Amino acid sequence: MSVEATIRFDDRVAIVTGAGNGLGRCHALGLAARGAIVIVNDAGGTVAGAGKSATAETVVAEIEAAGGTAIADTADVTDPAQVAAMIERATERWGRIDILVNNAGILRDKSFAKLALEDFRAVLEVHVLGAFHAAKAVWERMRAQNYGRIVFTTSSSGLYGNFGQANYGTAKAALIGLMKVLDQEGRKHDIRVNILSPTASTRMTEALLPEEDRALLDPASVTPGLLYLVSDKAPTGVMLCAGAGCFARAEVVETAGIYLPPGERSPETVAARFDEISASDGAATLPDAWAQTKKYVALARQAQKSRSGKS
């Protein structure tokens, strides 16, 4: 097996939201250990009147004790003004922002029948709007410097669904769409945008996991995947799944599909041929939304040409 060059982040400036505990803490420590200057963002455990987050300050102390450079920031990711101010403070101090890890999140699990609007809205505010505010605040700076790495954090709940998580699953699925668009828009400026789908034992999930599984699901086992996604070697437009030392890639795929001529376009025909429509042979990931339109047009033209040749 060939040995790849070491991934480093010397002189790179990174922001990690929700970095006071769990996955965010591990991501911040991992970035700092490889040379990055890290803004440890966490609004949790804020010290009254001090403008400090006890959890973020603890992570900063860990980084500094290991010889790294970091500062704590208590910006609430749901407040665009606070997020913009955080980016401005970091830029004034270090001149650039290279990496943004959108990790901040909350849970308010309830079955859909019992889910209140305020709990639905609160989860979307943190996960979706929080990630949007942060990405929007760094976007023009990354475009100007022709370099950027952004990671959004999704979940298997967003990819595959999970009972009692209509709000969380909706939010996490929304981030996939945001990533896919920013991947398209950022490429010419070397802004690489990816998704991380982690599973780990954290404050958010510990009550949901059997005790015997928690040791395997160490948040630190996810961070190597995150570090790759924000490195100079990073891909773009990728959904990387990680947990318990395991890594996999998720894809949105579309089956090859079929063409129905006008006289056969009925729900009964769709029902009768649904297995054919669903056949996995020829399923593929499409590069963008227009690829689907072009695919259908090509399929229709090919079918019409074939039928015309037979008539």
Kindly list the catalytic residues. 168
Greatest extent of the chain over all pairs of C-alpha atoms, in Å: 82
Name the residue among 74, 66, 3, 72 with its Cα closest to residue 30.
66
Spacing of C-alpha 234 from chain mean position: 14
Q: Sheet of 239-243: strands edge to edge?
A: 69-73, 37-41, 13-16, 99-102, 148-153, 191-198, 239-243, 246-250
Specify the 3-state DSSP secondary structure of 173: helix
CA dist., res. 145 & res. 143, Å (int): 6
Q: With contact defined as beta carbons under 8 Å apart, do 14 and 36 qualify?
A: yes
Burial label, 169 (beta-carbon count in 10 A; 0-12, 13-18, 19+): buried
Cβ–Cβ under 8 Å, residues 96 and 191: no
